[in-house]
Structure 1
């Protein structure tokens, strides 16, 4: 798998969430940005387990994604973040990202991977990015695909 393309495709899928009226549109990046405009989603670090099948037929990636929201109003920020982290609904990042799995029998992310699954939410807390504090969390995404492609 070509991870830069996979990361961009995940950000494109996340971009489809629908936030409540009055909340700014979710800004999405397939990389760690130097500066963010909240609310913001970006792909961050990842681990790769090579050779899950013989002859480089399958690699397994765990991609950590970050979501950050502004903190002008603590309660409102938590409500926005909770909607983004929900398992379903119009603002659900899980639902938006997993919609890029493709139809049964099709490859995920437009052919970049065999499959993907948003496994968990972790690290719900305050984060600092470039000197500004945000409320945020991480999503762990499991992606499987051919190890011999680039």
Structure 2
């Protein structure tokens, strides 16, 4: 798998999230940005396990992604974050990203990986990013794919 392409494809998959009226669009990046325009989703660190099958035929990556929301109104901010962390619904990051799994027999992320799965949410807390404070959380995404490509 080509890591940079996979990172960008995950960010692209998150973009269709529909935020509540009046909140604009979710901004997304496949990398850790210098600064963010909240609400913002980005792909951060990752861990990679090589050779999960013989002949470099399968690698497994676990991406730590983050979503950051403005703290202008603490209650409204947390409600928005809760909606994006829900397992379903128009604002659900899990639902939006997992659309990129493709249909039966199709590769995930437009052919970049065999499959992906949003596995968990963790780290729901206040974050400081580039000198600004946000409420946010991490979503863990497991991606499996060809190790030799």
Normalized against structure 1, the TM-score is what? 0.99
SS state at 2:87 partner: coil
Q: Could you tell me which runs of 5 or more consecutive residues in structure 2 were left unpaired when the two chains were aligned.
A: none
SS state at 1:50 partner: strand
RMSD: 0.4
1:29-68 to structure 2, matched below 5 A, reads: 29-68=29-68
Task: Return the alpha-carbon distance in structure 1 between the equivalents of residues 61 and 48 of structure 2.
Answer: 4
Task: Return the alpha-carbon distance in structure 2 between the equivalents of residues 54 and 13 of structure 1.
Answer: 30
1:109 alignment partner in structure 2:
109
Task: Return the alpha-carbon distance in structure 2 between the equivalents of residues 96 and 88 of structure 1.
Answer: 9
Task: Return the alpha-carbon distance in structure 1 between the equivalents of residues 110 and 22 of structure 2.
Answer: 32
Runs of 4 or more, structure 1, over 3 Å off, are: none
What is the count of residue pairs matched by the alignment?
A: 149
Q: Could you tell me which runs of 5 or more consecutive residues in structure 1 were left unpaired when the two chains were aligned.
A: none
Q: CA deviation at 1:112?
A: 0.1
Q: CA deviation at 1:43?
A: 0.2
SS state at 1:64 partner: strand
SS state at 1:110 partner: helix
Normalized against structure 2, the TM-score is what? 0.99
Q: CA deviation at 1:24?
A: 2.4
